[in-house]
Amino acid sequence: MKSLVLLFQQGQFASPKRPEQSFSIETFREECRRQEIAGSQEVYLQVVYHVPHFIVLPKDIDACAVYQHHFPEIKNEDIACAQLSDKLQKIAYPKEAALEQVAEEMLPHHHLLADAYLLLNYAIKKSRKQKLLLLHRVADDLQVILAQNGQLLFANSFKATNNIEAQYFIAAVAQEYGPVENVLLGGDPALEEGIKEHFKHISRFSIPEEIQEFLHCQSQLL
């Protein structure tokens, strides 16, 4: 079975190898038909999609109910919950209805993965021997994840319309949880200029480059 891996952000698809070249849902449909893979049993579709907000709670709390309390405009059936790799916590986040519809329509074998879920598990894994701050920005959405010794200390998303706002949220988290030496920065590269004077080590990562490791993390949880 062949594997087809795509990104999905702000209603657009993109190839992990060319994330800057996005294409619409309709173009995806047309390409599936043109390449004669629509309805194929031989193609496994994996899509990493961006979620604008999420919450993380202890595993014994109904995360979906808490999420709906904070975001009452989202129906319960449109909320997903999943246990994290630390076995202690769960994440709740919104499903992507348009993505689910086109995936069901085009390819019967598919798996849709929220970027926040993958990033949280990635941070847990990478922090086993260090204190790690992971920052990922897509448009106005800033995802901030702090982990140490394989445990999450902080995880949330913020609306940051500019770098000044983003830097404020990052500084507030760092101030509350103490010094952080290692920072992983993904998404909008412009954020690095504003924070580099506050952190000793900043490394760039991207979901396209790290996607196989993310998916490997996910496969171990299935």
The pLDDT assigned to 212 comes to 65
CB atoms within 10 A of CB 205: 18
Alpha-carbon gap, residue 123 to 62, rounded angstroms: 23
The pLDDT assigned to 217 comes to 55
Domains of the chain: 123-219 (3.30.420.260)
Alpha-carbon gap, residue 185 to 192, rounded angstroms: 7
Exposure string for 1-12, b = 16+ CB within 10 A, e = fewer: eeebbbbbbeee
Q: What sign for the dihedral angle of Cα 73, 25, 104, 93?
A: negative
Pure H helices in the chain: 25-34, 63-70, 97-106, 115-126, 163-177, 191-195, 207-219
- The distance from CA 3 to its chain's CA centroid, rounded to whole angstroms, is 20
Q: Are strands 12-15 and 2-9 parallel, antiparallel or unpaired?
A: antiparallel
pLDDT of the chain along its 222 residues, tens only? 788 999 999 899 998 888 888 999 999 999 999 999 999 999 999 999 999 999 999 999 999 999 999 999 999 999 999 999 999 999 999 999 999 999 999 999 999 999 999 999 999 999 988 899 999 988 899 999 999 999 999 999 999 888 888 888 888 888 888 888 789 988 877 888 878 777 878 888 877 666 666 665 554 443
The pLDDT assigned to 218 comes to 55
Contact 75, 64 (CB under 8 A): no
Alpha-carbon gap, residue 63 to 68, rounded angstroms: 9
User: The tokens 């106005």 sit on which residue?
Assistant: 140
Q: Which residues, including other chains, have CB under 8 Å from residue 118's CB and lie 6 or more apart?
A: 48, 207, 214, 215, 217, 218
The pLDDT assigned to 171 comes to 84
- For residue 132, which of 117, 121, 116 has the smallest C-alpha distance? 121
- For residue 121, which of 203, 214, 59 has the smallest C-alpha distance? 214
pTM (2 d.p.): 0.89
- For residue 163, which of 137, 181, 182, 200 has the smallest C-alpha distance? 137
The pLDDT assigned to 221 comes to 42
